[in-house]
Amino acid sequence: MAAPPLLSLRDIRLTYGDSDLFEGADMQVFERDRLCLVGRNGSGKSTLMKIAVGLVEPDGGERALRPAATLRYLAQEPDLTGFATVLDYVQAGLAPGDDPHRAQRLIEDLGLTGAEDPARLSGGEARRAAIARAMAPDPDVLLLDEPTNHLDLPAIAWLEDVLARSRAALVLISHDRRFLQNLTRRTLWIDRGVTRALDQGFSAFEEWRDKTLAEEEAALHKLGRKIVAEEHWVRYGVTARRKRNMRRMRELEDLRRQKREARRPGGTVNFTAAEAQTSGKRVIEAQGISKSFGGRPVVSDFSIEIARGDRIGLAGPNGAGKTTLVNLLTGKLAPDEGDIVLGANLELVSLDQRRAALKPDETLADALTGGRGDQVTVAGKQRHVTAYMKDFLFSPDRIRQPVASLSGGERGRLALAVALARPSNLLVLDEPTNDLDLETLDLLEEALGAYDGTLLLVSHDRDFLDRVVASTLAPDPARPGAWIQYAGGWSDMMAQISAKEVAAGQGDQPAEPSKAGSSPKSSEKPAPKSAAPAKEKLSPRERHVIAKAPGEMEKMGEAIAALEAALADPDLYAKDPDLFAKTAQSLEKARAKLAALEEEWLAAEMKREALDA
């Protein structure tokens, strides 16, 4: 007999104002579960998690926690006020019998000492302290709301590793695709007030979601056609005595009610980056620039030439100097040494990590218009601020709402709305993915893909870097202040780093240790110098891939584009559902085949480069 769940929510109902947030939501969490909550901003993910914790009381339904089971919760915006030190804050989350040494060890693993003043912590440091507090008791159920927000890449990698080995059942909310793909085995989708469960991890969610929505849209289309047919009968179909059939009239009214009550998915964000006149071909040229603070080199003897249309990501741990390097390259900060030349006709727009451009006491309308009337200029055209707000999923009744009342995701959307309205040909985005839901991230990615200007992107989101940038700048841990430019996104950078480490290790292998108790025999002669190991060579398959793969990838890209164009036909599903399904399946296979070929080609190329070196 299967064990009962550690935590159970059944038929949860909750109403805010005039709208129903939940209409019968369910969630079960079992031992060592790995569950992610997904849904659009405002769908109720954080609220459902708070109901699970017991912080919010629903209007209806039941919550059950297995007796003696322990539960801990990481809030999206943790409150550290009232504590003298980080250690005091973390230990306050311990129960009698919990190990206080575990709390100190987690604090140190997360890069803190425990003596810090919580009031003086940065956003990333506060997040680390809150993670330590949630994990220190080693609970049975661990609920984490956006745990990777404000964390740098090494901290995210550490957290992934610890959670993967944890005995706790995990419930995760996160915008970090890679984090969810690596950790989850079940998915709970909160969609229009109800929950839909998938017994697979996040990696399978998006395909399942798209298929579900397509089937729902087809069912609504079928319902609409049935209503049209019934209305035609009401008008023209009569009996011999010209009396209407009352049963069919009632059925028609039921069909109309079903269509009225069908809740379609909410609108989508309309991201469009306003572009200025074309910049010069050379956007930024830096020669031997250096910058130090307090004797610590942050950038040392760095040179780069950035051309029009380049898409460059900056990755690395917090404090490495990513923002400093961006400020140097864009002319906001003067270097201690070296020269920086900015190209002609540059129009720079930047989005800072802390959304400092947003003032808490100003209204949404004032934030968008700068307090100048009710018109906003977008791509050189005047638009009413209410219409522009709708593009970013803000309803007209919120036009006079203060910025301070917005959620984290809403502040992120508003900051993007302000930045993207301004014309630019050089776009600098510092952590733009913070607090955005996954669907909004998809749309932002598409907008950046269509942007013809130059992009500098600072991000800790590995998947977003892989999807958006063409090269990545990262600090060299072996040389303080040194930065290295790698081709490709995060995954490409890590593959190149691994290849370099392998190549470096081949030339300096440690001697194999002798077995215990044995000693070298004097009669053994050293191997002759000519007996060096044979140099590794490319296999015939690797040589073939290097020679032929680029052409094959180009052809596969053209085939994928043709399939995507076919699926873009809005009438295809209605005309031929089977053809639509077959085309979608062919597209998925083609993409997977292209990804596999790209991986094989990249591995062969890196091996060739390592052998040449």
Digit-coded pLDDT (tens) for 173-213? 999 999 999 999 999 999 888 899 999 999 999 889 888 88
| 360 occurs within a structural domain | yes
The reply to whether 167 and 50 lie within a common domain is: yes
> How far separated are the first and last CA of the chain, in Å rounded?
60
Q: How many Cβ atoms from other residues are within 10 Å of residue 116's Cβ?
A: 19
253 and 180, same structural domain? no
Percent of the chain with pLDDT over 90: 41
468, 490, 512 — which closes off a domain?
490
Among residues 452, 474, 490, the one where a domain terminates is 490
pLDDT class for 379, splitting at 50, 70, 90? low
Residue 520 has pLDDT above 50, yes or no: no
Residue 431 is assigned to a structural domain of this protein = yes
Task: Please give the pLDDT value at position 147.
Answer: 94
**411 and 336 housed in the same domain:** yes
Is 603 a domain residue?
yes
**Domain membership flag for residue 74:** yes
| pLDDT reported for residue 220 | 66
The predicted pLDDT at position 454 comes to 93
Res. 497 pLDDT band, cuts 50 70 90: confident
User: Mean pLDDT across the stretch 489-495?
Assistant: 90
Q: Say whether both 296 and 248 belong to one domain.
A: no
- Whether residues 160 and 29 share a domain: the answer is yes
Q: Which domain, by its residues, includes 599?
A: 537-613
- Residue 514 inside a domain? The answer is no
Whether residues 346 and 456 fall in one domain = yes
Q: Between 612 and 315, where is the model more confident?
A: 315
Query: 482 and 594: one domain?
Result: no
Residues 142 and 243 in one domain: no
Note the pLDDT of residue 239. 47
Residue 270 belongs to some domain of the structure: no
pLDDT of residue 368: 83
At 79-121, the pLDDT tens digits run: 999 999 999 999 999 999 899 999 999 999 999 999 999 999 9
Mean pLDDT of the chain: 82
535-559 per-position pLDDT tens digit? 456 666 677 778 777 878 888 888 8
Q: Please, which pLDDT band fits residue 421 given cuts at 50, 70 and 90? A: confident
Domain containing 72 — which CATH number? 3.40.50.300
Q: Which residues of 553-586 are buried (b: 16+ CB within 10 A; e: fewer)?
A: eeebeeebeebeeeeeeeeebeeeeeebeebbee
Same domain, 388 and 480: yes
CB neighbour list of residue 89: distance below 8 Å, 6 or more residues apart? 80, 83, 118, 129, 133
The candidate with the shortest Cα–Cα distance to 35, out of 139, 128, 142, is 142
CA distances from 28 to 185, 273, 390 (A): 13, 42, 36
Query: Which two three-digit tokens encode residue 608?
Result: 């060739």
Q: Do 191 and 311 belong together in one domain? A: no
Number of domains in the chain: 4
pLDDT at 319: 82
Q: Are residues 100 and 171 in the same domain?
A: yes
Q: How far apart are CA 250 and CA 265, in angstroms?
A: 28
Tell me the C-alpha distance between 543 and 604, whole Å: 8
DSSP 268: -
Co-location of 555 and 600 in the same domain: yes
Residue 334 lies in a domain: yes
Judge whether residue 240 has pLDDT over 70. no
- Kindly state whether residue 530 falls inside one of the protein's structural domains: no
